[in-house]
Chains A and B, each alone.
Chain A
Amino acid sequence: MIRHAILRVLSKLLIPLIFLFALYVQFFGDYGPGGGFQAGVIFGAAVILYALMFGLRDAERVFRPRVLEIAVACGLMLYGSVGVLTILLGGNFLDYDVLAHLPTHGQERGIFLVELGVGITVASVMTTIFFQFANRGRDND
């Protein structure tokens, strides 16, 4: 835990805002620059800042590595399932028109779900990469 006063105060103020910004970028991807990958990276950056400031042990208590591994798989599964769902509903693979009664609503829903899957996977992957690198040399497995 870094005991420098300025760093601690500022990070306590900024980390929640960074998480919020990541969520904003995630959901605003329809109307402006943004989307799943960018949001995932910003989310991961916030987690890394937390780990740098408050120590790897505390960060791993909040974001458990086992849960992150499951999240990586689940995000990608969400993406693939949307594609298979559109096939089962009668359209082509990843044809979002069939997801709702109106094609435009279907497109919105499809893009939302797909970007959510991407965001979950990317955030978990970025965090996992950092934790794996940081743990190397502490307890070699």
Chain B
Amino acid sequence: MITILLDRIGRSLLPLLVAAPLLSATVCILLRRARWAWSLALVVSWGVFADAAYLLYHVVHFGPISYAQGGWRAPWGIELRLDLLNALVLVIVTGICAVVALAAPRSLAQEVPERKHYRIWALYLLCMTGLAGMTITGDAFNIFVFLEISSLSSYVLISQGTTRRALTSSVQYLVMGTIGGTFFLLGVGMIYMVTGTLNIHDMAVQLSTVGPNRTVLVALACIGVGVGIKLAVFPLHIWLPNAYTFAPAIVTAFLAATATKVAYYVLVRFVFSVFGVHLAFNELHLHVVLLPLAILAMFMGSIVAIFQSDIKRMLAYSSVAQIGYMVFGLSLASLPGLTGGIVHLFNHALMKSGLFLVMACVLLRTGSTKLEAMHGLGRKMPLTMAAFVLGGLSLAGVPATVGFVSKWFLVKGALEAGYWYLAVLVLLSSLLALVYIWRVVEVAYFRPPHPDGPEIREAPLSMLVPTWMLIGATLVFGLYTPFSVGVAQAAAKMLLGISS
């Protein structure tokens, strides 16, 4: 009896990625105690991460998985489809959720009153549901539904910050995010009008017979703009700095590594799988729009980051620059370019959430995330600042860290396409990252601590261990690349239609 049940569950591991966090969120609302809600969220997020890791192993060795939800086969029903691209994104997103949940209780207790914690955990699980659902589904409208689930829960999570600016940042994100989601919906509607199907795989087949008519091109533009707002591509990034700065530190660590990454996955999926390279790059000339915006993002993000006095805000602008690198890889539309973009998705998630967890530690011990509060922290919180230095080196693309791996592929892609000046620009903007990292390093290691400040100890173990798990991963995956690069390259080959 038990074996039959376990076998049935084992055949349905894919929808459980979405169903388990959803049901646990409802249980969290019923559990009023913060401890219980946190334990449930921790168990479920690690379970989902294990599930995702197993599914990645399955996809790498046995090929794509297709699951007909509700028993209705595609294209009539909603299909859940896992191939190399979304398996990788799924693993990194659920991994970040699991690790950040480990570090959360002490940091959340500082910023949110304890009686509200069970709601935070319910929202955390709902956001995880939305992100996981967006990654695994093979139906375009389902992507919209899960997009809105994750967006709505993240608006509420961001508004839980301590200052009143969290409220205005959340409203700004809400307005822009809803416009983005609605543009995406409009694009999907236009595709439905032309092809009569909502299934992503089927759309690709139908669109190849329809060819480039105006509706299809406008649909691609609408989807590009809609997803671009959620991805914080250069001119549409305005919501990002405020949202990341004023949200609770744990929420920033969680969102910075997941929301924009899944949006990037959706963009790659639509540009390469649904519309195809010919339609997107030869007919609509997407690279003419995206390449300059990517370069602008790289420079604008890094330059503005240099002048920030709040370190969380500095890291937020740095995120805008790093998203520029990912979009650069996408718009190159070549094997090394797209590999670089996908591998940077993986690497940036690790780097940024590690760095934001460092800021959560700093906030916990010093009470502020401003640069002035970090005087002498190199001596008082050595392990925490060492993690910051490693993460910062990774942002700059120093060899032996993951940042170097992504930059390698992006520069290689630019050189192979003949754009040597773009390769130079990529390297120059990486140097800018060194400037803003050095600002923090100089203050932390070479200035004496404030004499009349509070007694600062090292961060608690419950927060140090997850931080070093993530920062250590940036070192491990920077030295041992076959996993991330191998999967990313295979995914890029599949997307570009190159047989290996």
**Chain A interface (Cβ < 8 Å from any Cβ of B):** 69-70, 72-74, 76-77, 80-81, 83-84, 87-97
Residue of A nearest to B25 (CB): A76
Contact A81 B71 (CB under 8 A): no
Min CB gap B73→A, angstroms: 10
Chain A residue numbers with a CB within 8 Å of B9 are: 87-88
B26 at interface, CB cutoff 8 A: yes
Chain B residue numbers with a CB within 8 Å of A89 are: 8
Determine the distance from Cα of A89 to Cα of B1 in the docked complex, in whole angstroms.
11
**Chain B CB within 10 Å — which of A69, A76, A83, A97 has the most?**
A83
Chain A residue numbers with a CB within 8 Å of B16 are: 87, 93
Determine the distance from Cα of A89 to Cα of B71 in the docked complex, in whole angstroms.
13
Contact A77 B26 (CB under 8 A): yes
Contact A92 B29 (CB under 8 A): no
Min CB gap B11→A, angstroms: 8
Chain B residue numbers with a CB within 8 Å of A84 are: 19, 23
Q: Which of A72, A81, A83, A91 contacts B29 (CB 8 A)?
A: A72
**Chain A CB within 10 Å — which of B15, B26, B67 has the most?**
B26
Contact A91 B23 (CB under 8 A): no
Contact A76 B70 (CB under 8 A): no
B27 at interface, CB cutoff 8 A: yes
Min CB gap A46→B, angstroms: 24
Contact B70 A88 (CB under 8 A): no
Describe A's contact surface by its main secondary structure.
helix
Determine the distance from Cα of A77 to Cα of B12 in the docked complex, in whole angstroms.
19
Q: Which of A76, A80, A93 contacts B69 (CB 8 A)?
A: A93
Contact A92 B23 (CB under 8 A): no
A-B residue pairs in contact (CB < 8 Å), sample of 26: A69-B29, A70-B30, A74-B26, A76-B26, A77-B23, A77-B26, A77-B27, A80-B22, A80-B23, A80-B26, A84-B19, A87-B12, A88-B5, A91-B71, A92-B12, A92-B15, A92-B67, A92-B71, A93-B19, A93-B69, A94-B70, A94-B71, A95-B69, A95-B70, A95-B71, A97-B71
B186 at interface, CB cutoff 8 A: no
Chain B residue numbers with a CB within 8 Å of A88 are: 5, 8-9
**Chain B CB within 10 Å — which of A92, A95, A96, A97 has the most?**
A92
Min CB gap A96→B, angstroms: 7
B68 at interface, CB cutoff 8 A: yes
Min CB gap B152→A, angstroms: 12
Determine the distance from Cα of A89 to Cα of B12 in the docked complex, in whole angstroms.
12
Q: Indicate whether A92 sits within 8 Å of B22 (C-beta atoms), given known contacts A73-B29, A77-B27.
A: no
Q: Which of B25, B26, B27, B68 contacts A92 (CB 8 A)?
A: B68
Q: Mark B26-43, 1 if CB is under 8 A from A, else 0.
A: 110110000000000000
Min CB gap B457→A, angstroms: 34
Contact A73 B15 (CB under 8 A): no
**Chain B interface (Cβ < 8 Å from any Cβ of A):** 5, 8-9, 12, 15-16, 19, 22-23, 25-27, 29-30, 67-71
Contact A80 B19 (CB under 8 A): yes
Residue of A nearest to B29 (CB): A73
Min CB gap B41→A, angstroms: 15
Min CB gap B313→A, angstroms: 30
16 other contacts beyond A73-B27, A80-B23, A92-B15, with CB at 8 A cut-off? A72-B29, A73-B26, A73-B29, A73-B30, A74-B26, A76-B25, A77-B27, A80-B26, A87-B15, A88-B9, A91-B71, A92-B70, A93-B12, A93-B15, A93-B70, A97-B71
Chain A residue numbers with a CB within 8 Å of B5 are: 88
Contact A83 B15 (CB under 8 A): yes
Min CB gap A116→B, angstroms: 15
Contact B8 A81 (CB under 8 A): no
Determine the distance from Cα of A101 to Cα of B136 in the docked complex, in whole angstroms.
31
Residue of B nearest to A77 (CB): B26
Determine the distance from Cα of A94 to Cα of B26 in the docked complex, in whole angstroms.
18
Min CB gap A41→B, angstroms: 18
Min CB gap B276→A, angstroms: 30
Q: Indicate whether A94 sits within 8 Å of B8 (C-beta atoms), given known contacts A72-B29, A73-B27.
A: no
Determine the distance from Cα of A93 to Cα of B23 in the docked complex, in whole angstroms.
14
Determine the distance from Cα of A81 to Cα of B24 in the docked complex, in whole angstroms.
11
**Chain A CB within 10 Å — which of B9, B19, B71 has the most?**
B71
Min CB gap A95→B, angstroms: 3
Min CB gap B7→A, angstroms: 10
Chain A residue numbers with a CB within 8 Å of B27 are: 73, 77
Determine the distance from Cα of A97 to Cα of B71 in the docked complex, in whole angstroms.
8
Contact A90 B70 (CB under 8 A): no
Residue of A nearest to B5 (CB): A88
Chain A residue numbers with a CB within 8 Å of B67 are: 92-93
Min CB gap A140→B, angstroms: 14
Determine the distance from Cα of A81 to Cα of B67 in the docked complex, in whole angstroms.
19
Residue of B nearest to A83 (CB): B19
Residue of B nearest to A66 (CB): B32
Min CB gap B250→A, angstroms: 23
